[in-house]
């Protein structure tokens, strides 16, 4: 028998083999574990890469408030702040739906007309024909859902560009609204009805505003805390408890300041509560569900999403249906504000304000980046400008020019940010 004298292969120590088997971790994922120092380094990295996030919007809003407060001491009074908060809900609701569409990298020009149709449909069904108010409310919202689904179907299945489809929808639904309103053109709503109360009802008990502040603060802390526990259990980076506490304290201070301001006037507006509820719901859908991840993926790359098994057509149709639904809800809030449905609903600069709110808030026109909270930030900027200029007695043409300038500046920042990120290899 011959003996094999071939030397045995040299093996690496087990420790080295195990270390090599551990996948490399992106340092950016370790930010949460590094605490505030990690976030400061991440902030500097984002500034260099042009990833500004919501910082320009927040800074711009603060500058607007400072300027108008210095010009007129009534700007940030409790009454004016409360009125602005209620006035922004109609536009903000529609802007939430626009955020979904923009995340796909598309546009919906029909939401203004669809919002007018919803208000008109409710008025005709409830006031003219005496239909039950709740049923008329539901059917008017479904009108927006169906309209949006039709736009999405023509876009996704037939292949007509969204711009052309929704532009046609703008004209069609505006004509449909004029048709159902009839020759009179205006239908007054029941002053004690559900729709009018959407913007006229206030929770006068001071406990309501303070209670909401407590609920929001506690909800944020519990969500962050248990989310941290799940991350730790899964072995992924998580925030230190100290950071969660600091964030919670800052949110509590902001929430209670707003509650104090509301209680100095009529109390907590129902419209604001409803708006916040929808913002929380849609934020959860986009950030915490598989559907939301598919929307973001589709906005990033249609072809990659299709190859990953995502039903592109279904997501597109559903997103436009969501936009139509929020257009209808926003239209009911607009009708509530003026206690009527008229031929001017959803026309003029209204559509531009809605789209501007989403874009100014931080949602990218190029798709794949944005949050529903952007609608809140953007509409706060627009309404603040409108109310501030109105207090100064400045005419509407100047308001349009200033709002247009702010929108252009936002789009320029978005474009420059995207270009910078490409240069940095992150887009």
User: DSSP letters along 329-376, please?
Assistant: HHHHHHHHHHTEEETTTT-TTHHHHHHHHHHHHT--TTSS---THHHH
Looking up tokens 């509407």, which residue turns up? 396
- Range name among 152-161, 193-202, 301-310 with the lowest pLDDT average: 301-310
Q: What distance in Å separates the CA atoms of residue 374 and residue 109, rounded to the nearest whole number?
A: 19
Hey, which of 171-185, 192-206, 341-355, 383-397 has the most confident mean pLDDT?
192-206
What is the radius of gyration, based on Cα positions, of the chain? 25
Tokens of 331: 């239209």
Query: What dihedral do alpha carbons 393, 397, 398, 404 form, nearest 10°?
Result: 140
8 Å CB contact between 33 and 237 = yes
SS3 202: strand
The pLDDT value given to residue 24:
45
pLDDT higher for 102 or 368? 102
Burial of 347 (0-12, 13-18, 19+ CB in 10 A): middle
- Model confidence at 89: pLDDT above 90: yes
Tokens of 335: 């009708």
> Which among 349, 360, 410 has a CA at the least distance from the CA of 382?
360
**What's the rounded mean pLDDT across residues 123-134?**
93
Residue 105 is classified by DSSP as T
Instruction: Collect all residues with Cβ–Cβ distance below 8 Å to 353 and sequence separation of at least 6.
Output: 91, 379, 382, 403
Sign of CA dihedral 76, 251, 247, 288: negative
> Which among 360, 338, 388, 348 has a CA at the least distance from the CA of 70?
388
Element (DSSP H or E) covering residue 163? helix 162-181
8 Å CB contact between 367 and 353 = no
SS3 62: helix
Q: What distance in Å separates the CA atoms of residue 72 and residue 304, rounded to the nearest whole number?
A: 53
Tokens of 122: 């409710």
pLDDT tens-place string over residues 250-267: 999 999 999 999 999 999
- Model confidence at 200: pLDDT above 90: yes
Mutual angle of helices 396-423 and 373-391, in 10-degree steps: 150
Q: What distance in Å separates the CA atoms of residue 115 and residue 141, rounded to the nearest whole number?
A: 9
- Model confidence at 378: pLDDT above 60: yes
3-state secondary structure 289-300: CHHHHHHHHHHH
Query: What percent of the chain lies above the pLDDT cut of 90?
Result: 54
The pLDDT value given to residue 1:
46
What does the mean pLDDT of the chain come to? 85
Q: What distance in Å separates the CA atoms of residue 421 and residue 179, rounded to the nearest whole number?
A: 49
Mutual angle of helices 78-103 and 270-288, in 10-degree steps: 30
**What's the rounded mean pLDDT across residues 214-233?**
89
8 Å CB contact between 115 and 299 = no
pLDDT tens-place string over residues 97-128: 999 999 999 999 999 999 999 999 999 999 99
SS3 33: helix
The pLDDT value given to residue 153:
96
The pLDDT value given to residue 414:
66
pLDDT tens-place string over residues 319-336: 999 999 999 999 999 999
The pLDDT value given to residue 184:
79
Residue 241 is classified by DSSP as H
- Model confidence at 197: pLDDT above 80: yes
Q: What distance in Å separates the CA atoms of residue 378 and residue 50, rounded to the nearest whole number?
A: 20
């Amino acid at each position: 028998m011959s003996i094999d004298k071939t030397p045995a292969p040299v093996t690496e120590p087990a420790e080295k083999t195990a270390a090599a088997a551990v996948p490399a971790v992106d340092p950016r994922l370790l930010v949460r574990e590094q605490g505030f120092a990690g976030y400061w380094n991440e902030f500097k990295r984002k500034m260099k890469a042009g990833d500004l996030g919501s910082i320009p919007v927040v800074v711009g809003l603060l500058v607007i408030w400072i300027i108008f407060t210095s010009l007129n001491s009534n700007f940030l009074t409790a009454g004016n702040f409360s009125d602005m908060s209620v006035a922004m809900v109609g536009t903000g609701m529609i802007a939430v739906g626009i955020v979904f569409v923009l995340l796909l990298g598309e546009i919906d020009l029909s939401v203004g007309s669809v919002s007018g149709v919803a208000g008109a449909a409710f008025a005709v069904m409830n006031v003219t024909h005496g239909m039950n108010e709740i049923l008329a409310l539901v059917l008017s919202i479904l009108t927006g859902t169906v309209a949006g689904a039709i736009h999405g179907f023509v876009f996704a299945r037939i292949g007509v560009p969204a711009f052309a489809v929704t532009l046609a929808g703008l004209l069609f639904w505006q004509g449909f609204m004029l048709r159902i309103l009839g020759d009179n053109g205006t239908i007054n709503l029941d002053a004690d009805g559900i729709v009018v109360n959407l913007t006229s009802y206030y929770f006068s008990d001071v406990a309501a505003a303070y209670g909401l502040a407590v609920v929001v603060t506690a909800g944020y802390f519990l969500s962050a805390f248990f989310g941290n526990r799940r991350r730790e259990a899964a072995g992924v980076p998580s925030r230190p408890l100290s950071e969660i506490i600091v964030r919670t304290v800052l949110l509590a201070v902001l929430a209670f300041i707003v509650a104090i301001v509301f209680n100095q006037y009529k109390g907590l507006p129902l419209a604001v509560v409803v708006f916040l509820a929808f913002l929380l719901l849609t934020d959860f859908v986009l950030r915490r569900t598989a559907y939301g991840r598919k929307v973001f993926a589709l906005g990033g790359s249609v072809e990659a999403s299709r190859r990953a098994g995502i039903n592109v057509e279904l997501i597109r149709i559903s997103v436009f249906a969501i936009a139509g639904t929020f257009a209808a809800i926003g239209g009911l809030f607009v009708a509530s504000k003026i206690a009527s449905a008229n031929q001017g609903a959803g026309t003029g600069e209204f559509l531009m304000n809605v789209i501007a709110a989403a874009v100014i808030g931080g949602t990218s026109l190029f798709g794949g980046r944005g949050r529903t909270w952007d609608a809140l930030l953007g509409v706060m900027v627009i309404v603040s400008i409108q109310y501030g200029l109105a207090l100064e007695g400045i005419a509407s043409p100047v308001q349009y020019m200033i709002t247009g300038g702010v929108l252009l500046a936002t789009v320029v920042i978005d474009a420059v940010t995207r270009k910078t990120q490409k240069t940095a290899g992150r887009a």
